[in-house]
Amino acid sequence: MRGFTLLEVMVALAIMAGVVLTVISSVNYHLSLTARNNEETIALLLARTKLEELELLDKQQLTQGKEGTFRPEWPDYSWKAEISPAPVPVFKTLTITVTWGTDRRTLSLAHYLLQEK
C-alpha cells in the first residue's frame, strides 16, 4: 500500500496551521498600519488646509490662539492653533495641532510668519 501515515498527515497539518497563523497575523498587522497611515494622512491634509485658512486671517486675530473641529466632514478630528516666538526674532511660529481618535493621537505642523513692525 502506498499513502501517508497518520503521523505524517498530523505533522503536515501542524506545519500548515503555523504558516496560516503567521500569514493571518501579518495581514492583520499590515492592515492596522494602513489604517494608521490613512488617519495620519487625513490629519496632515486637514492641518495644511487649516494653516492656509489661518494665514489669510488678520494677524491680530491669531494672537489669542484658536481652536475648533472639522465637523461635519471629519467629526473625530479637532484642531488648535498657537502663535509663539520663533528662534529668529523677525518671525513668529504658527503651530497647528490636529487631534483625533479615541486615544487622542496628535499631529503638529509649524509655519513661520514674518512679524509686522
Domain boundaries, the chain: 6-114
Mean pLDDT of 88-111: 94
pLDDT tens-digit series, residues 51-60: 999 888 876 6
pLDDT at 66: 87
Q: Which CATH number fits domain 6-114: 1.10.1330, 3.90.550, 1.20.1630, 3.30.1300?
A: 3.30.1300
What's the pLDDT at 44? Answer: 97
Q: Confirm whether pTM is higher than 0.75.
A: yes
109-117 long-range Cβ contacts below 8 angstroms, 24+ apart? 109/44, 109/47, 109/48, 109/51, 111/51, 111/55, 112/86, 112/88, 113/55, 113/59, 113/83, 114/90, 115/89, 115/90, 115/91, 116/59
pLDDT tens track for 2-34: 888 999 999 999 999 999 999 999 999 999 999
* Distance from C-alpha of 63 to C-alpha of 54, rounded to nearest angstrom: 11
